[in-house]
Structure 1
Amino acid sequence: MMNFNEKTLHKESIYEGRIVDVSVHDVELPNGKTSKREIINHPGAVAIIAVTSENKIVMVRQFRKALEKELLEIPAGKLEENEEPENSAARELEEETGYKTNQLTKVTSFYTSPGFADEIIHVYETDQLFEGVTYTDEDEFVELVEVTLDEAESLIKEEKIHDAKTIFAVHHIKQQRAQANLKND
Protein backbone atom coordinates (compact mmCIF):
# COMPACT_ATOMS: atom_id res chain seq x y z
CA MET A 1 0.00 0.00 0.00
CA MET A 2 1.32 3.44 -0.98
CA ASN A 3 2.14 5.97 1.71
CA PHE A 4 0.41 9.24 0.77
CA ASN A 5 1.90 11.37 3.57
CA GLU A 6 3.49 14.66 2.64
CA LYS A 7 6.44 15.80 4.75
CA THR A 8 6.54 19.53 5.55
CA LEU A 9 10.00 20.88 4.71
CA HIS A 10 9.28 24.53 5.46
CA LYS A 11 6.27 26.45 6.76
CA GLU A 12 5.71 30.19 6.47
CA SER A 13 2.86 32.04 8.14
CA ILE A 14 1.56 34.66 5.71
CA TYR A 15 -1.54 35.91 7.56
CA GLU A 16 -2.87 35.79 11.12
CA GLY A 17 -6.46 36.95 11.41
CA ARG A 18 -9.35 37.02 13.84
CA ILE A 19 -10.99 33.93 12.33
CA VAL A 20 -8.32 32.19 10.24
CA ASP A 21 -4.57 31.97 9.84
CA VAL A 22 -2.94 31.20 6.50
CA SER A 23 0.38 29.49 5.93
CA VAL A 24 2.33 28.17 2.97
CA HIS A 25 4.02 24.79 3.31
CA ASP A 26 6.83 23.46 1.14
CA VAL A 27 6.21 19.71 1.14
CA GLU A 28 7.95 16.60 -0.05
CA LEU A 29 5.51 14.42 -1.98
CA PRO A 30 5.31 10.62 -1.77
CA ASN A 31 7.25 10.38 -5.07
CA GLY A 32 10.12 12.51 -3.67
CA LYS A 33 9.26 15.68 -5.60
CA THR A 34 8.33 18.93 -3.84
CA SER A 35 5.29 21.17 -4.00
CA LYS A 36 3.58 24.02 -2.14
CA ARG A 37 0.42 23.80 -0.04
CA GLU A 38 -1.58 26.85 1.03
CA ILE A 39 -3.28 25.99 4.32
CA ILE A 40 -6.04 27.81 6.18
CA ASN A 41 -6.07 27.11 9.93
CA HIS A 42 -9.39 27.56 11.71
CA PRO A 43 -10.21 26.86 15.39
CA GLY A 44 -13.25 24.77 14.47
CA ALA A 45 -16.96 25.45 14.54
CA VAL A 46 -20.32 24.17 15.68
CA ALA A 47 -23.70 23.98 13.99
CA ILE A 48 -27.07 23.28 15.53
CA ILE A 49 -30.02 21.48 13.97
CA ALA A 50 -32.85 22.94 16.03
CA VAL A 51 -36.48 21.98 15.48
CA THR A 52 -39.37 23.79 17.18
CA SER A 53 -42.38 22.15 18.81
CA GLU A 54 -44.26 23.07 15.59
CA ASN A 55 -41.75 20.91 13.62
CA LYS A 56 -40.09 23.93 12.02
CA ILE A 57 -36.36 24.05 11.38
CA VAL A 58 -34.67 27.04 13.03
CA MET A 59 -32.47 28.97 10.63
CA VAL A 60 -30.89 32.37 10.29
CA ARG A 61 -30.71 34.57 7.21
CA GLN A 62 -27.43 36.39 6.83
CA PHE A 63 -25.27 38.02 4.18
CA ARG A 64 -22.13 36.07 3.26
CA LYS A 65 -19.49 38.44 1.87
CA ALA A 66 -17.42 35.66 0.28
CA LEU A 67 -20.45 34.77 -1.85
CA GLU A 68 -21.92 38.29 -2.14
CA LYS A 69 -25.38 36.99 -1.27
CA GLU A 70 -27.74 36.15 1.56
CA LEU A 71 -28.14 32.55 2.66
CA LEU A 72 -30.46 30.73 5.01
CA GLU A 73 -28.37 28.58 7.34
CA ILE A 74 -28.74 26.58 10.50
CA PRO A 75 -27.27 28.44 13.50
CA ALA A 76 -23.50 28.01 13.64
CA GLY A 77 -20.36 29.66 14.86
CA LYS A 78 -16.69 29.48 15.66
CA LEU A 79 -15.37 27.66 18.70
CA GLU A 80 -13.90 30.03 21.23
CA GLU A 81 -10.50 29.22 22.75
CA ASN A 82 -10.72 26.34 25.27
CA GLU A 83 -14.48 26.05 24.72
CA GLU A 84 -16.10 22.61 24.53
CA PRO A 85 -18.10 22.14 21.30
CA GLU A 86 -21.36 21.36 23.14
CA ASN A 87 -21.08 24.56 25.20
CA SER A 88 -20.29 26.50 22.04
CA ALA A 89 -23.35 25.02 20.32
CA ALA A 90 -25.64 26.09 23.17
CA ARG A 91 -24.09 29.58 23.18
CA GLU A 92 -24.36 30.01 19.40
CA LEU A 93 -27.97 28.81 19.35
CA GLU A 94 -28.99 31.44 21.88
CA GLU A 95 -26.83 34.22 20.42
CA GLU A 96 -28.17 33.84 16.90
CA THR A 97 -31.78 32.74 17.49
CA GLY A 98 -32.83 33.62 21.02
CA TYR A 99 -33.59 29.96 21.68
CA LYS A 100 -31.99 28.04 24.54
CA THR A 101 -31.81 24.31 25.15
CA ASN A 102 -30.66 21.99 27.89
CA GLN A 103 -30.53 18.99 25.60
CA LEU A 104 -28.05 18.78 22.75
CA THR A 105 -27.18 15.52 21.02
CA LYS A 106 -24.08 15.23 18.88
CA VAL A 107 -24.91 14.15 15.33
CA THR A 108 -21.45 14.12 13.72
CA SER A 109 -18.34 16.13 12.94
CA PHE A 110 -16.86 16.75 9.51
CA TYR A 111 -14.16 18.75 7.77
CA THR A 112 -15.58 21.56 5.66
CA SER A 113 -12.88 21.91 2.97
CA PRO A 114 -10.04 19.44 3.63
CA GLY A 115 -8.21 20.30 0.42
CA PHE A 116 -6.97 23.58 1.90
CA ALA A 117 -8.41 24.07 5.41
CA ASP A 118 -8.33 22.23 8.74
CA GLU A 119 -11.73 23.53 9.91
CA ILE A 120 -13.87 20.86 11.56
CA ILE A 121 -17.51 21.48 12.34
CA HIS A 122 -19.33 19.68 15.15
CA VAL A 123 -23.05 19.25 14.45
CA TYR A 124 -25.58 18.98 17.28
CA GLU A 125 -29.34 18.64 17.29
CA THR A 126 -32.19 19.49 19.63
CA ASP A 127 -35.96 19.68 19.63
CA GLN A 128 -36.10 20.89 23.23
CA LEU A 129 -36.19 24.67 22.84
CA PHE A 130 -37.23 27.47 25.15
CA GLU A 131 -36.93 31.21 24.90
CA GLY A 132 -33.65 32.93 25.66
CA VAL A 133 -32.15 36.23 24.53
CA THR A 134 -30.64 37.06 21.13
CA TYR A 135 -27.26 38.81 21.40
CA THR A 136 -25.23 38.56 18.20
CA ASP A 137 -21.70 39.88 17.81
CA GLU A 138 -21.50 43.59 16.94
CA ASP A 139 -20.46 42.77 13.35
CA GLU A 140 -23.06 40.01 12.88
CA PHE A 141 -26.50 40.69 11.44
CA VAL A 142 -28.92 37.79 11.32
CA GLU A 143 -32.67 37.28 11.03
CA LEU A 144 -34.45 34.33 12.61
CA VAL A 145 -36.37 32.22 10.08
CA GLU A 146 -38.32 29.04 10.79
CA VAL A 147 -39.21 26.74 7.90
CA THR A 148 -40.92 23.41 7.40
CA LEU A 149 -39.01 20.48 5.94
CA ASP A 150 -40.86 20.89 2.62
CA GLU A 151 -40.00 24.60 2.54
CA ALA A 152 -36.35 23.81 3.29
CA GLU A 153 -36.18 21.33 0.42
CA SER A 154 -37.63 23.95 -1.95
CA LEU A 155 -35.14 26.54 -0.68
CA ILE A 156 -32.29 24.13 -1.45
CA LYS A 157 -33.56 23.82 -5.05
CA GLU A 158 -33.74 27.62 -5.25
CA GLU A 159 -30.17 27.86 -3.85
CA LYS A 160 -31.35 30.06 -0.99
CA ILE A 161 -30.09 27.27 1.25
CA HIS A 162 -26.76 26.65 -0.40
CA ASP A 163 -24.17 25.63 2.19
CA ALA A 164 -23.12 22.08 3.04
CA LYS A 165 -23.92 22.09 6.78
CA THR A 166 -27.48 23.28 6.24
CA ILE A 167 -28.14 20.92 3.33
CA PHE A 168 -26.76 18.13 5.55
CA ALA A 169 -29.13 19.22 8.34
CA VAL A 170 -32.18 19.15 6.07
CA HIS A 171 -31.29 15.68 4.77
CA HIS A 172 -30.62 14.49 8.33
CA ILE A 173 -34.07 15.64 9.47
CA LYS A 174 -35.71 14.04 6.42
CA GLN A 175 -33.92 10.74 7.10
CA GLN A 176 -34.87 10.78 10.79
CA ARG A 177 -38.53 11.44 9.97
CA ALA A 178 -38.55 8.64 7.36
CA GLN A 179 -37.09 6.22 9.92
CA ALA A 180 -39.67 7.29 12.52
CA ASN A 181 -42.48 6.71 9.99
CA LEU A 182 -41.13 3.22 9.26
CA LYS A 183 -41.17 2.37 12.97
CA ASN A 184 -44.74 3.65 13.31
CA ASP A 185 -46.03 1.55 10.38
Structure 2
Amino acid sequence: MTNQVQRYGQQDVQILKKESLYSGFFNMVKYAFKHKLYKGGWSEVIEREIFERGHAIAVLLYDPNLDEFVMIEQIRIGAFPTSESPWLLEVVAGIIDEGETAENVCRREAEEEAGVKIKNLTKALSYLSSPGGTTERLHIFVGEVDATQAQGVHGLEYEGEDILVHRVSATQAIEWIEQGKVDNAATLIALQWFTMNKQKVLDLWENE
Protein backbone atom coordinates (compact mmCIF):
# COMPACT_ATOMS: atom_id res chain seq x y z
CA MET A 1 0.00 0.00 0.00
CA THR A 2 1.26 3.48 -0.84
CA ASN A 3 -1.17 5.62 1.16
CA GLN A 4 0.72 8.08 3.34
CA VAL A 5 -0.52 8.08 6.94
CA GLN A 6 -1.05 11.45 8.61
CA ARG A 7 0.35 13.46 5.72
CA TYR A 8 -1.00 16.67 7.25
CA GLY A 9 -0.12 18.52 10.47
CA GLN A 10 -1.01 21.65 12.39
CA GLN A 11 0.42 23.80 9.61
CA ASP A 12 -2.35 22.49 7.34
CA VAL A 13 -5.13 23.94 9.47
CA GLN A 14 -6.13 27.60 9.53
CA ILE A 15 -7.88 28.70 12.74
CA LEU A 16 -9.91 31.70 11.58
CA LYS A 17 -11.75 32.49 14.81
CA LYS A 18 -12.17 31.28 18.39
CA GLU A 19 -15.26 32.52 20.21
CA SER A 20 -15.91 31.91 23.90
CA LEU A 21 -19.46 30.61 24.37
CA TYR A 22 -19.28 29.79 28.06
CA SER A 23 -16.69 30.17 30.79
CA GLY A 24 -17.08 28.44 34.15
CA PHE A 25 -15.58 25.36 35.78
CA PHE A 26 -15.30 24.16 32.18
CA ASN A 27 -15.24 26.24 29.00
CA MET A 28 -17.07 26.02 25.69
CA VAL A 29 -15.37 27.54 22.64
CA LYS A 30 -16.61 27.87 19.06
CA TYR A 31 -13.92 27.31 16.44
CA ALA A 32 -14.07 28.49 12.84
CA PHE A 33 -11.40 26.80 10.72
CA LYS A 34 -10.34 25.53 7.31
CA HIS A 35 -8.12 22.55 6.52
CA LYS A 36 -6.35 20.98 3.55
CA LEU A 37 -8.27 18.28 1.69
CA TYR A 38 -6.91 14.88 0.65
CA LYS A 39 -8.10 15.55 -2.90
CA GLY A 40 -6.31 18.90 -2.96
CA GLY A 41 -7.23 22.46 -2.07
CA TRP A 42 -8.87 23.70 1.09
CA SER A 43 -12.18 23.00 2.81
CA GLU A 44 -14.94 25.52 3.26
CA VAL A 45 -15.08 27.25 6.65
CA ILE A 46 -16.15 24.74 9.31
CA GLU A 47 -17.61 25.74 12.68
CA ARG A 48 -17.50 23.45 15.71
CA GLU A 49 -18.37 23.95 19.40
CA ILE A 50 -15.59 22.40 21.51
CA PHE A 51 -15.64 21.57 25.22
CA GLU A 52 -12.40 22.67 26.91
CA ARG A 53 -11.90 21.14 30.36
CA GLY A 54 -8.11 21.05 30.47
CA HIS A 55 -6.13 17.83 30.58
CA ALA A 56 -6.13 15.00 33.11
CA ILE A 57 -4.45 11.94 34.54
CA ALA A 58 -5.71 8.50 35.42
CA VAL A 59 -3.56 6.20 37.53
CA LEU A 60 -4.07 2.46 37.97
CA LEU A 61 -2.95 1.61 41.51
CA TYR A 62 -1.42 -1.86 41.81
CA ASP A 63 0.07 -3.89 44.64
CA PRO A 64 2.50 -6.44 43.11
CA ASN A 65 2.84 -8.34 46.39
CA LEU A 66 -0.89 -9.09 46.61
CA ASP A 67 -1.65 -8.93 42.87
CA GLU A 68 -4.43 -6.48 43.66
CA PHE A 69 -5.63 -3.20 42.24
CA VAL A 70 -6.93 -0.33 44.32
CA MET A 71 -9.99 1.02 42.53
CA ILE A 72 -12.66 3.53 43.45
CA GLU A 73 -16.42 3.83 43.07
CA GLN A 74 -18.30 7.12 42.74
CA ILE A 75 -21.36 8.60 41.10
CA ARG A 76 -21.03 10.01 37.56
CA ILE A 77 -24.19 11.75 36.43
CA GLY A 78 -23.10 11.51 32.80
CA ALA A 79 -23.61 7.75 33.07
CA PHE A 80 -27.23 8.10 34.26
CA PRO A 81 -29.02 8.00 30.87
CA THR A 82 -27.41 4.75 29.66
CA SER A 83 -26.29 2.77 32.75
CA GLU A 84 -28.12 0.57 35.22
CA SER A 85 -26.15 2.36 37.93
CA PRO A 86 -24.37 5.73 37.62
CA TRP A 87 -21.94 4.63 40.37
CA LEU A 88 -18.90 3.62 38.34
CA LEU A 89 -15.89 1.44 39.12
CA GLU A 90 -12.88 3.54 38.17
CA VAL A 91 -9.18 4.19 38.48
CA VAL A 92 -8.06 7.26 40.41
CA ALA A 93 -8.10 10.33 38.17
CA GLY A 94 -7.86 14.10 38.30
CA ILE A 95 -7.45 17.29 36.29
CA ILE A 96 -3.97 18.76 35.85
CA ASP A 97 -4.10 22.29 37.24
CA GLU A 98 -1.85 25.07 35.96
CA GLY A 99 1.67 24.67 37.33
CA GLU A 100 1.24 20.98 38.19
CA THR A 101 2.97 18.04 36.57
CA ALA A 102 1.02 14.93 35.64
CA GLU A 103 3.12 12.90 38.07
CA ASN A 104 2.33 15.25 40.96
CA VAL A 105 -1.38 14.98 40.23
CA CYS A 106 -1.15 11.17 40.28
CA ARG A 107 0.37 11.22 43.74
CA ARG A 108 -2.02 13.87 45.07
CA GLU A 109 -5.13 12.17 43.75
CA ALA A 110 -4.05 8.74 45.03
CA GLU A 111 -4.02 10.15 48.56
CA GLU A 112 -7.18 12.25 48.18
CA GLU A 113 -9.32 9.60 46.48
CA ALA A 114 -7.92 6.31 47.78
CA GLY A 115 -5.88 7.14 50.89
CA VAL A 116 -2.70 5.50 49.60
CA LYS A 117 0.79 6.69 48.75
CA ILE A 118 2.43 5.81 45.44
CA LYS A 119 5.88 4.21 45.68
CA ASN A 120 6.80 3.83 42.00
CA LEU A 121 5.05 5.54 39.12
CA THR A 122 5.22 4.54 35.45
CA LYS A 123 3.77 6.35 32.44
CA ALA A 124 1.70 4.06 30.25
CA LEU A 125 0.32 6.18 27.40
CA SER A 126 -1.85 9.18 26.65
CA TYR A 127 -4.97 9.50 24.51
CA LEU A 128 -7.56 12.00 23.36
CA SER A 129 -10.79 11.32 25.24
CA SER A 130 -13.21 12.48 22.51
CA PRO A 131 -11.48 14.75 19.97
CA GLY A 132 -14.64 15.43 17.99
CA GLY A 133 -15.99 17.44 20.90
CA THR A 134 -13.25 18.20 23.44
CA THR A 135 -9.57 19.13 23.54
CA GLU A 136 -8.93 16.96 26.63
CA ARG A 137 -5.91 14.64 26.59
CA LEU A 138 -5.74 11.98 29.30
CA HIS A 139 -2.41 10.65 30.57
CA ILE A 140 -2.48 7.08 31.91
CA PHE A 141 -0.07 5.92 34.63
CA VAL A 142 0.44 2.81 36.74
CA GLY A 143 1.42 3.32 40.37
CA GLU A 144 2.79 0.85 42.90
CA VAL A 145 0.97 0.97 46.24
CA ASP A 146 0.39 -1.02 49.43
CA ALA A 147 -3.20 -2.20 48.99
CA THR A 148 -3.54 -3.05 52.68
CA GLN A 149 -3.72 0.71 53.34
CA ALA A 150 -6.72 1.14 51.03
CA GLN A 151 -10.05 1.32 52.79
CA GLY A 152 -12.98 3.55 53.62
CA VAL A 153 -14.60 6.56 52.00
CA HIS A 154 -12.55 9.45 50.62
CA GLY A 155 -12.78 12.61 48.53
CA LEU A 156 -12.95 16.36 49.03
CA GLU A 157 -16.23 17.56 50.54
CA TYR A 158 -16.03 20.98 48.90
CA GLU A 159 -15.87 19.26 45.51
CA GLY A 160 -18.86 17.06 46.36
CA GLU A 161 -16.77 13.87 46.25
CA ASP A 162 -18.06 10.71 47.93
CA ILE A 163 -15.60 7.97 46.93
CA LEU A 164 -15.64 4.36 48.09
CA VAL A 165 -12.35 2.45 47.88
CA HIS A 166 -12.14 -1.17 46.69
CA ARG A 167 -9.34 -3.72 46.75
CA VAL A 168 -9.76 -5.81 43.62
CA SER A 169 -7.82 -8.90 42.58
CA ALA A 170 -6.34 -8.79 39.09
CA THR A 171 -8.57 -11.72 38.11
CA GLN A 172 -11.69 -9.97 39.38
CA ALA A 173 -10.86 -6.78 37.48
CA ILE A 174 -10.62 -8.66 34.18
CA GLU A 175 -13.90 -10.43 34.95
CA TRP A 176 -15.53 -7.05 35.56
CA ILE A 177 -14.43 -5.93 32.10
CA GLU A 178 -15.91 -9.06 30.54
CA GLN A 179 -19.13 -8.59 32.51
CA GLY A 180 -19.43 -4.94 31.51
CA LYS A 181 -19.13 -3.69 35.09
CA VAL A 182 -16.12 -1.60 34.07
CA ASP A 183 -17.23 0.51 31.12
CA ASN A 184 -15.46 3.89 31.32
CA ALA A 185 -12.63 4.58 28.90
CA ALA A 186 -9.77 5.47 31.25
CA THR A 187 -10.26 2.39 33.42
CA LEU A 188 -10.66 0.04 30.48
CA ILE A 189 -7.56 1.39 28.75
CA ALA A 190 -5.46 1.34 31.92
CA LEU A 191 -6.41 -2.25 32.81
CA GLN A 192 -5.92 -3.54 29.28
CA TRP A 193 -2.57 -1.76 28.86
CA PHE A 194 -1.35 -3.15 32.18
CA THR A 195 -2.44 -6.67 31.24
CA MET A 196 -0.33 -6.43 28.08
CA ASN A 197 2.67 -4.80 29.78
CA LYS A 198 2.59 -6.20 33.33
CA GLN A 199 5.98 -7.91 33.32
CA LYS A 200 7.69 -4.89 31.81
CA VAL A 201 6.29 -2.66 34.56
CA LEU A 202 7.22 -5.09 37.34
CA ASP A 203 10.78 -5.39 35.98
CA LEU A 204 11.05 -1.60 35.91
CA TRP A 205 9.85 -1.24 39.49
CA GLU A 206 12.21 -3.95 40.68
CA ASN A 207 15.16 -2.00 39.30
CA GLU A 208 14.15 1.35 40.76
Contact 2:127 2:138 in 1 (8 A): yes
Local SS of the residue matching 1:99:
coil
- 2:29 corresponds, among 23, 26, 42, to 23
After TM superposition, the score normalised by the length of structure 2 is: 0.77
In the alignment, which residue of structure 2 is the partner of 1:154?
175
In the alignment, which residue of structure 1 is the partner of 2:155?
136
Local SS of the residue matching 2:94:
strand
Correspondence 1:45 to 2:56: yes
Local SS of the residue matching 1:87:
helix
Q: Equivalents in 1 of 2:46, 2:183: separation in Å?
A: 33
Letter in 1 for 2:21: I
Q: Equivalents in 2 of 1:162, 1:65: separation in Å?
A: 14
In the alignment, which residue of structure 2 is the partner of 1:76?
93
Q: CA deviation at 1:156?
A: 1.6
Letter in 1 for 2:56: A
Greater helix proportion: 2
Identical pairs, percent: 27
Correspondence 1:34 to 2:45: yes
Q: CA deviation at 1:75?
A: 0.6
Q: CA deviation at 1:141?
A: 1.2
User: Cα RMSD over matched residues?
Assistant: 2.4
Q: Equivalents in 2 of 1:3, 1:176: separation in Å?
A: 31
In the TM superposition, what whole-angstrom CA distance separates every residue of 1:9-32 from its partner, at most 9, and x where no partner exists?
2221111121x2111112224334
Q: CA deviation at 1:3?
A: 4.4
- Specify every segment of 5 or more residues in structure 1 that has no aligned partner in the other structure, as ranges: 181-185
Q: Map 1:103-122 to 2 at 5 A.
A: 103-122=120-139
Tell me: CA distance 1:64–1:135, structure 2 relative to 1, closer, same or farther (3 Å).
closer
Q: CA deviation at 1:158?
A: 2.6
In the alignment, which residue of structure 1 is the partner of 2:67?
55
After TM superposition, the score normalised by the length of structure 1 is: 0.85
Q: CA deviation at 1:173?
A: 2.5
- Choose 86-95 or 107-116, whichever is displaced more: 107-116
In the alignment, which residue of structure 1 is the partner of 2:79?
67
- Choose 156-165 or 75-84, whichever is displaced more: 156-165
Q: Equivalents in 2 of 1:178, 1:103: separation in Å?
A: 15
Contact 2:154 2:164 in 1 (8 A): no
Q: Equivalents in 2 of 1:3, 1:126: separation in Å?
A: 36
Contact 2:16 2:33 in 1 (8 A): yes
- Specify every segment of 5 or more residues in structure 2 that has no aligned partner in the other structure, as ranges: 37-41, 81-85, 202-208
In the alignment, which residue of structure 2 is the partner of 1:11?
18
In the TM superposition, what whole-angstrom CA distance separates every residue of 1:55-79 from its partner, at most 9, and x where no partner exists?
1111101111111112101111111
In the TM superposition, what whole-angstrom CA distance separates every residue of 1:114-147 from its partner, at most 9, and x where no partner exists?
2221111122212243748975222111110121
Q: How many residues align structurally?
A: 179
Q: Equivalents in 2 of 1:81, 1:135: separation in Å?
A: 24
